[in-house]
Amino acid sequence: MLIAPRKKKDEVRQAIETVASLNPPHQYFSAFLTPAPGEVDVKARIRRVVSAGPSRFYRDMSLLHDRCNLSRFTPSISSSDQLALRQLGQALTVYHETLMAPYAHHIAARVEQDIAIRIRDLLNGGLDAALSNLRPIFQWRPPVLHISVPHEKEVFLSGRGLILVPSYFCRRTLVAMTDPELPPVVVYPARPTITQNMSTETDEHLLAALLGSTRALILRAIHSCRGATTGRLAKTIGVSAATVSEHVKIMRNSGLLTSTRHAQNVLHIVTPLGRRLLDSRL
């Protein structure tokens, strides 16, 4: 009975060591491990990584060789060791199932909140507003976007466009993926949410606390506006701002909303869980 937990613990530790060796804390992030556009199935992503081939792996890892101490696991993969490739696939699977999947809701909420803010800026003020409001991460001085990274480098888009990716895990520094065969990508820290209380109540109790027509109206109003302030919700629903704030607090602590400061206001945004609840009750 004591062997299984010990084995699982060792498996998780080995997975962490493997992933850390292939993804060290540097500004460069390997395109080898980057999901393809629109790729949402984790198993499919892992299969693609394992089947990428030694030449692609070696090219990406050579960019990191001088910046970090790669583990002994790395050369065996680059030499097309099929057992090592299977071990890599297993390590990525264990890493995701143990350390990522249990927190998928919180990760998705943070990222989608940032995307909602960027869309709002783009719709209200165009490209200049969207890029200007990325300060201090970026400095937009048309037609040049300045990005704060330790190593100075000029990248010419040449009509390819630039993909900006908000990341839950990118906290202090930016990460650039500059494979010349791929569109330029910059990963930046997703906008933080306002601190919320992590409730220990069961899902049943939390959902019971959300029952009521006023909260449903607030949730639908925020969803239809792609984000709304407390003042706007009070006018739309026809209740006081204090009432809206209380309902928003409950829904935020239950994971149905996130709130973030934007300009002089606090903007409330529906999370993926909140959208699923709305879709199931429409």
Question: Tell me, what amino acid is at 139?
Answer: Q
User: What contacts 169, CB < 8 A, 6 or more positions away?
Assistant: none
How crowded is the C-beta side of 95, counted as CA atoms within 13 Å? 18
The residue with tokens 């409330």 is: 268
* Tens of pLDDT, residues 201-260: 444 455 556 668 888 889 989 988 888 999 999 998 899 999 999 999 999 988 899 999
Q: How far apart are CA 56 and CA 31, in angstroms?
A: 9
Domains of the chain plus CATH, in order, are 3-103 (no CATH), 104-189 (no CATH), 203-281 (1.10.10.10)
Residue 185 pLDDT > 90, yes or no?
no
pTM of the model: 0.62
Count how many residues are written for the chain.
282
Residue 74 pLDDT > 90, yes or no?
no
Cα angle 6, 8, 12 (rounded to 5 degrees) comes to 120
Q: How far apart are CA 78 and CA 59, in angstroms?
A: 9
Q: How do strand 265-270 and strand 228-229 relate by DSSP bridges?
A: antiparallel
Residue 152 or 247, more confident: 247
Per DSSP, what are the bridge partners of residue 189? 167
Contact 237, 215 (CB under 8 A): no
H or E segment and range at residue 107: helix 104-132
Q: How do strand 144-147 and strand 138-141 relate by DSSP bridges?
A: antiparallel
- Determine what percent of the chain is predicted with pLDDT higher than 90: 13
